[in-house]
Amino acid sequence: MVAMPEPKRDILARKDEIVARLRDIVPGEGVIVREEELRAYETDGLTAYRQSPMVVVLPSTVEQVSKVMAYCHEQGIRVVPRGAGTSLSGGALPLEDGILLGLGKFNRILEIDYENRCVVAQPGVTNLGITKAVEHEGFYYAPDPSSQIACSIGGNVAENSGGVHCLKYGLTTNNVLGVEMVLIDGTVVRLGGKHLDSDGYDMLGLINGSEGLLGVVTEVTVRILKSPETARAVLVGFPSNEQAGDTVAAIISSGIVPAGVEMMDKPAIHAAEDFVQAGYPLDVEALLICELDGPEAEVDELLARVSRLAEENGATYERVSKDEEERARFWAGRKAAFPAVGRVTPDYYCMDGTIPRHRLAHVLGRMREMSEHYGLRVANVFHAGDGNLHPLIMYDANEGDQLERAENFGADILKLCVEVGGVLTGEHGVGVEKRDLMGTMFNEVDLNTQQRVKCAFDPNGLLNPGKVFPTLHRCAELGRMHISRGKMPFPDLPRF
């Protein structure tokens, strides 16, 4: 288990006084301290980690957020922001001596602007809620994480969430035009707006994926798109993972950018089919779901090209969705893959590495060896188009050392991802889960450079500490420069 920062005893000792002051700022039911009520907040989507916060605060106005933050800054109290709490990396895990700042009451859509093709929403609005608000006009919000029915747009910004359609339409960061954000000292800043691109440093881009360590987002402006004329999905089955992987590479390199290409291995196919009866073939080793969207004529032509490439790579099964209902069913299986695996094992641990696409077969082969070594089964779902793997390691936390083995297995998978030229996390974030693996990708200078960015926003390290960075340094220490004066480098360096 990952160690969290040592709780501040002086803060815990002053709990009553702190709660009283918070109640001044957020009156009514917005401050929660009863132990049994706090328990509802003790974990996020990474359920292996649990910790009750000192107090939960649920503000309902930007002014309240600003006042809470300014108070915490002044008093040295730690703050963990949370949207819907669906993080799979423990990014919203509370701290024993910290305030859990829930943004659930910020649940309104503030403006729908079709002319500028954007929606202004409060951070607690769900991802799907944005699409629901504009779909009657034929528009939608493109990033669609599998948890879209529950996850909040503010959380999406914090994690730079992806989804099955981000291959063609980009991640959260490519679809957010602006945010309003409260800094730890209570200052409210606006980054971006309804226009494109930043005038100075692209802080909006920096905030996306910053995991709640730089500020608390209180408003988000996202780009919306007109739904394509048609969308059709094709299921393609293969006798091996390698052939499925090769087909994906062939599709992408032929110049086709599908709306999504997903891959599932045999255990995942069976779990999903048992759960939602999506119509998946059960006699294949690997299944691709490839979706193409656009005008009917284009979709037809590209589907034919995909079919040809799949056949050339040894596909043994193919089925094209004939209507919207069938297309939705194809996706239902994929989107329910995590809970489906959850039905066949007491616990599972979901990983999130990204690899260069052409290393897929190698990585899946090594994963099979690891599975034998650790004695734990693994099912794979995979955003194949962009190389993002989601191995689901199956274990039983009540059985001996299985949790520990699952964690070690997971760490080995992520190290493998880095070894083949990939990264630790594609869309779930570092959080607490992958924090201590950051050293496999970054050296000390890299990590110190990132932590200095943290210092630029939060010099006292009060916002979500213990997440992302394996070692906490004081900003004063990081800011210091070690100067050796007077030494001119490379006297023979070419000059002009």
Partner 1 sequence: MADTYRPDSAEQLRELVAWASAEEAPLEVLGRGSKRGLGRPMQAQAGVDMTGFTGIIEYEPDELILAAHTGTPLAEIQAELAAKAQDFAFEPPDLGPLLGGEAGQATIGGTVSCNLAGPRRVKSGAVRDHFLGFHAVSGRGEAFKSGGRVVKNVTGYDLCKLMCGAYGTLAVMTDVTLKVLPVAEETRTVLLVGLDEDAAVKALTAGLQSAYEVSAAAHMPADIARASGVSTVRKSGGAVTALRIEGPPVSVKHRAKKLAEEVLHGHGETHELQDRTSRDFWAEVRDVRPFVGLDGTAVWRISVPPAEGAGVAKRLGEAVSGARYYLDWGGGLIWLAVPQGEDAQHASVRAALGDSTGHATLIKADPEVRAAVPVFQPQADGVAVLTKNLKDAFDPRRVLNPGRMYAGV
| Contact positions with partner 1 (CB under 8 A) in 90-149 | 113-117, 138
Part of the chain binding partner 1 (CB under 8 A), chosen from 29-37, 56-64, 307-315, 440-448: 440-448
Site for partner 1 in 449-488 (CB under 8 A): 449-450, 452-457, 468, 479, 481, 483-488
Q: State yes or no: residue 260 binds partner 1 (CB under 8 A).
A: no
Site for partner 1 in 344-363 (CB under 8 A): 354-358
For 323, counting Cβ atoms within 10 Å of its Cβ (0-12 exposed, 13-18 middle, 19+ buried), the class is: exposed
Task: Take residue 55 and report the two structure tokens written for it.
Answer: 């107090």
**Closest approach of partner 1 to the CB of residue 138, in Å:** 7
Q: Which of 424, 432, 462, 463 binds partner 1 (CB under 8 A)?
A: 424
Q: Which of 266, 344, 423, 473 binds partner 1 (CB under 8 A)?
A: 423
Q: Which of 60, 75, 107, 198 binds partner 1 (CB under 8 A)?
A: 198
Find, among 240, 487, 256, 261, the residue nearest to 368 by Cα: 240
3-class state of residue 168 by DSSP: helix
Q: Are 241 and 265 in contact (CB under 8 A)?
A: yes
**Closest approach of partner 1 to the CB of residue 2, in Å:** 16
Find, among 441, 278, 268, the residue nearest to 339 by Cα: 268
The continuous run of DSSP H or E covering 190 comes out as strand 188-192
Q: State yes or no: residue 208 binds partner 1 (CB under 8 A).
A: yes
Site for partner 1 in 68-87 (CB under 8 A): none
**Closest approach of partner 1 to the CB of residue 437, in Å:** 9
Q: State yes or no: residue 189 binds partner 1 (CB under 8 A).
A: yes
Burial string for 68-95 (b: 16+ CB within 10 Å, else e) reads bbbbbbeeebbbbbbbbbbbbbbbbbbb
Q: State yes or no: residue 301 binds partner 1 (CB under 8 A).
A: yes
Q: Which of 9, 34, 322, 495 binds partner 1 (CB under 8 A)?
A: 495
Q: Which of 6, 36, 199, 372 binds partner 1 (CB under 8 A)?
A: 199
CA Rg value for the chain:
24
Find, among 237, 255, 327, the residue nearest to 291 by Cα: 327
Give the CA angle between residues 162, 164, 166 to the nearest 5°. 50
**Closest approach of partner 1 to the CB of residue 448, in Å:** 8
Site for partner 1 in 30-69 (CB under 8 A): none
